[in-house]
Amino acid sequence: MIGVLSLQGDFAAHRRAIESVGKEAVEVRTPSDLEKCERLIMPGGESTTLGILLRLAGLDMAIPERVNAGMPIWGTCMGMILLAKEIEDSEQFRFGLMNITVKRNAFGSQVFSFEQGLEFKGLDGPLHAVFIRAPVVTAVGTEVQVLAKVDDKVVAVRQDRMLGTAFHTELTDDPRVHDFFIRM
């Protein structure tokens, strides 16, 4: 079963995307929900809020324990912020599991949200990506592979069994990134 962290944010859209590729999804709100999952997706939402909710749920410790034991994890937008080791100009909660630095709301207030076709390494043909107050990755460690960029900005990264995307494909009807993650 594929878990979707369901404390806040667009978890329902991920659930639908998982079901569209023929897999079973489970909404994760407690450490015992997490035990049922072989993989976990962290959706978009508000990363400062999630930091508080994760602690209350006891998932602030349980999630990194599972990832360190080998569970694949994918963070979209807010989820990628939570995976990062460094968040520019912020002391907020993060798991710090991926060797990346992120900048929140990095596309500025003028282009707050936008949609764009982009190339994603390992997928054939352009991917339609939805950016909603999206972060960018401003630095990566040597163990991190860059999978997609918008202009010169890094918007998708992979480190071993961890995937981070600044954008949302769960809000489109293209399931290829979900499929990519499930095969990771």
C-beta closer to ligand GLN: residue 49 or 159: 49
SS3 of 109-173: the string is CCCCEEEEEECCCCCCCCEEEEEECCCEEEEECCCCEEEEEECCEEEEEEECCEEEECCECCCCC
Of the residues 14, 37, 77, 178, only one is catalytic, namely 77
**By CB under 6 A, residue 105 contacts ligand GLN:** yes
**By CB under 6 A, residue 7 contacts ligand GLN:** no
C-beta closer to ligand GLN: residue 46 or 60: 46
Our answer to whether residue 168 is catalytic in this structure is yes
**By CB under 6 A, residue 75 contacts ligand GLN:** no
The stretch among 51-59, 77-85, 144-152, 171-179 that binds ligand GLN (CB under 6 A) is: 77-85
The stretch among 18-26, 73-81, 114-122, 154-162 that binds ligand GLN (CB under 6 A) is: 73-81
Residues 14 and 41: beta-carbon distance below 8 Å: yes
Q: Which x/- pattern, by CB under 6 A, does the window 27-66 give for ligand GLN?
A: -----------------xxxx-------------------
Contact partners, residue 46, CB within 8 Å, separation at least 6: 8, 9, 78
Our answer to whether residue 77 is catalytic in this structure is yes
- Which tokens belong to 150? 């918008």
Residues 87 and 75: beta-carbon distance below 8 Å: no
Residues from 125 through 184 that contact ligand GLN (CB under 6 A): 132-133
Residues classed as catalytic: 77, 168, 170
Residue ranges binding ligand GLN (CB under 6 A): 44-47, 77-78, 81, 104-105, 132-133
